[in-house]
Structure 1
Amino acid sequence: MVYAVCFDYAMNVSEGRAPEHPRGLGRGPGIRGKRVVVTGGGRGLGEQIVRLLVAEGALVATCARTAGDLAALAASLDPKARERLYTQALDVTEPEQLENFVAAAEKRFNGLDGAVACAGGSRGGGLERSDPADWAATWAVNVGHTARLIRAAVPHLRAAGGGSVVVIASISGWKPGPGAQYGAAKSAQIHLAASLARELGPDGIRVNTVSPGSMLIPGRRWDRMRTEQPEAFAAFVSAELPGGRPVAPQEVAHVVAFLLSDWSSGISGAHLPVDRAQNAPAPDGY
């Protein structure tokens, strides 16, 4: 049976299909019943993290800027799974909205066991095409929101006897590429997580970073490039992706779920790339 599950999963990956969640990833003491908040859960990677956690029996609260995305996510779940999901539309950079969301999630679930800082993004172009406001906005949505999420969650995690925090950074945080403000912010997230792992360790709170490589998400940059510029996309994959394709968001979600689970209890302060050994984060290389 184990061989069959692994074989099916490997076939999906080798054929370029987004892999299904492996059966039993978080069943039993690993993730079932965990109470987790996830920012940026309306689309892309955040959505896949939420779907996996809910499917594996966790209670999940997620937020996003667009209420319609959250409504569509909830509507796509079966009724029993929907009962384990709490959503709220908000901007994580707005004062007090994120903190109020964490408090509401803790009240709804009667405690918290984990948090995932997945909301992020970038504003502005190259150095001469970006102003200080672009840098400040990029910092706020990545580093600022992560620090505020963890700060808001810590009292509840401590009250539960400890917990796990996962920060979603990027390979751009240590592999140079265009968009210096984004790379600098992601680098700061990696350092932030390692520092807080030391600070919060005595309370039984683990903090780790996951850095995805280029992800193939419908409608996003690499998916558009694949359909609109197939030759350029093929050249990018050949030059920078020895695994033969970009990583799927579901694959990153598996790692996040593991770090939230009891099975990763010995891991804290770690930085885990999920990038198929990708080299440069952009087609133009280093």
Structure 2
Amino acid sequence: MTDTGHDRRQTALTGRFAGRRIVVTGGSRGLGEHVVRLLLSEGARVATCARKPEPLQVLQRSLESPAALLVRSLDVAVPELLEHFVEEAASEMGGVDGVVACAGGARGRGITEASAEDWAATWQMNVGHVARLVATSAPHLRAAGGGSIVVVASVSGWKPGPQAQYGSAKAAQIHMVSSLARELAAAGIRVNAVSPGSMLIPGKRWDRMQREDPSAFDRFRAEFPGGELVRPQEVADVIAFLLSDQARAVTGINLPVDKGQNAPTPGGY
């Protein structure tokens, strides 16, 4: 039976996240965009941020109900900007019930080439960003009676590969999750990590390799027992599960979503 506009609106009103207010960092493209669209489709109000305003505006204009999405352009590595965004989102949405730390990244090359500034910037984009996001969101989650925080880590956080500054930062995120889950449990706040494997995202590294160097891409595919890279919508589904009441007994874990990937880069271990 063909889905109608009425059916979609009704699903949004009665979905898993109907009435929920969720903050997502890094939601303009790739995995973050998939997360935002999935949460909105299931009834949530969402606030998201990214560095560049144009992709955020494109995302908002593409929605049937643009008012359900609050967008702001900012760098999550700047603590005061991130904190202001969370406070604004809580004020605009009337509270916060869930948080997804999806923004991240890396700077610099190998250990002999990466500067101290590269290491500091990579650390701040990942570990510092999560620390400030959780610290600012936790009082709002507590006021809402509890909630769920999901940190997007990486297979690189526990399966070694270059560059070390990125893997170290992701490993720190995974450890933070287990510590924060215990610290915030009394407030009814669950904290979990998802570690995606290498994702096939249009325009990104592996998609370019697939188009520009098919033989190298085929060699990389051998790192996956099933011969297929992870797709962002598959990771988004797991993030939504951890945000939902279906995962109400799950906290403090790092959940790999990597299709059994071996090494996180084409060079192997």
Q: Normalised by the shorter chain, which TM-score bucket?
A: over 0.9
Contact (CA 8 Å) 2:194, 2:256: kept in 1 or not? yes
Deviation at 1:32, TM superposition (A): 2.0
- Cross-structure match for 1:184: 168
Between the aligned partners of 1:61 and 1:94, the Cα distance in structure 2 is: 18
Q: 2:190 aligns with which of 202, 206, 213?
A: 206
Alpha carbons of structure 1 residues 25 and 84: separation in structure 2 relative to 1, 3 Å? closer
Deviation at 1:132, TM superposition (A): 0.5
- Cross-structure match for 1:64: 50
Between the aligned partners of 1:29 and 1:154, the Cα distance in structure 2 is: 24
- Cross-structure match for 1:262: 245
Between the aligned partners of 1:267 and 1:35, the Cα distance in structure 2 is: 20
Letter in 1 for 2:24: V
Between the aligned partners of 2:254 and 2:28, the Cα distance in structure 1 is: 25
- Cross-structure match for 1:73: 59
Deviation at 1:256, TM superposition (A): 0.5
Alpha carbons of structure 1 residues 27 and 244: separation in structure 2 relative to 1, 3 Å? farther
Deviation at 1:273, TM superposition (A): 0.5
Deviation at 1:68, TM superposition (A): 0.1
Deviation at 1:29, TM superposition (A): 6.7
- Cross-structure match for 1:52: 38
- The alignment status of 1:279 with 2:253, answered yes or no, reads no
Between the aligned partners of 1:113 and 1:95, the Cα distance in structure 2 is: 21
Normalised by the length of structure 1, the TM-score is 0.89
What does 1:34-113 align with in structure 2 at a 5 Å threshold? Answer: 34-78=20-64, 80=65, 82-113=66-97
Between the aligned partners of 1:279 and 1:221, the Cα distance in structure 2 is: 18
Between the aligned partners of 1:25 and 1:49, the Cα distance in structure 2 is: 17
Between the aligned partners of 1:153 and 1:29, the Cα distance in structure 2 is: 23
Listed one character per residue, the Cα deviations across residues 106-151 of structure 1 (whole Å, up to 9, x for unaligned) are: 0111111010101000000000010110000000000000010000
Percent of paired sites with the same residue:
60
Contact (CA 8 Å) 1:26, 1:261: kept in 2 or not? no
Between the aligned partners of 2:62 and 2:130, the Cα distance in structure 1 is: 28
Q: SS state of the match for residue 48, structure 1?
A: helix
- Cross-structure match for 2:219: 235
Q: 1:194 aligns with which of 178, 187, 199?
A: 178
Deviation at 1:261, TM superposition (A): 0.7
Contact (CA 8 Å) 2:11, 2:43: kept in 1 or not? no
Q: For this pair of structures, how many residues does the alignment match? A: 261
Deviation at 1:244, TM superposition (A): 1.5
Letter in 2 for 1:34: R
Between the aligned partners of 1:236 and 1:29, the Cα distance in structure 2 is: 38
Unaligned runs of 5+ in 2: 2-9
- Cross-structure match for 2:4: none
Alpha carbons of structure 1 residues 27 and 83: separation in structure 2 relative to 1, 3 Å? closer
Contact (CA 8 Å) 2:16, 2:43: kept in 1 or not? no
- Cross-structure match for 2:17: 31
Normalised by the length of structure 2, the TM-score is 0.94
